[in-house]
Structure formats: structure tokens, C-alpha cells
Amino acid sequence: MAKQLNVRSDAAHRLATQLSRRLNLSTTKVVEQALMELDRKVPEPAGGDLPPDQEADHRAFMELVRSVQRFKKPGATSDHSDLYDENGLPA
């Protein structure tokens, strides 16, 4: 089951609704795309637990992940909970 995010802001609701109408997308998709765009723009925090060479590789990998997100098909998800019962066993 998908996680839920509640934003209690009239301004955010108004903007998401306006954009969803203009883009012919759901408000959920509008918020999701806006957050992905912001995530692309905000750099990862520096000073991780990795050595400098691995940190550079990690940054490059994360940039690659962000660059291919725009190709994700609508509705695509990595949630496979429908394949398992309430005890976590294959259905």
C-alpha cells in the first residue's frame, strides 16, 4: 500500500490543483514531479561516511538515477506488496 503524505496548506493545494489542470495530471503526480525537480537541484549533503573516491562515485550514481527518473512510466512503482499476503509470504 502506498504511503500517504498530508500537506495542510491552502496555498500548496491551490497551486497543485492549478498545475494539475494545466498539465492534465493528478495533483499527486504534480507534487511528485515538483519534489523530484527540487531533489535534482538540491545537492547531497557533504561529509558522508564514504572515502572521497567512493563519495564521487556515489554522487555520480545518484545523478544518473535522477536523470533517468523522467523516463519512468506513469504509475510505475517498486512496490510489490500485492505479491505477498499479510504475513509477508508469497500470495
Question: Domain extents for the chain?
Answer: 10-72
pLDDT of residue 90: 87
Reported as a single tens digit per residue, the pLDDT across 74-87 is 888 888 888 888 88
| pLDDT for res 75 | 80
**What's the grid cell of residue 52?**
572521497
Residue 27 CB-density burial (10 A; 0-12 exposed, 13-18 middle, 19+ buried): middle
- pTM, two decimals, is 0.50
Per cent of the chain over pLDDT 70 is 95
Task: Point out the residues of the chain with pLDDT beneath 50.
Answer: none
Distance CA 51, CA 65 (A): 21
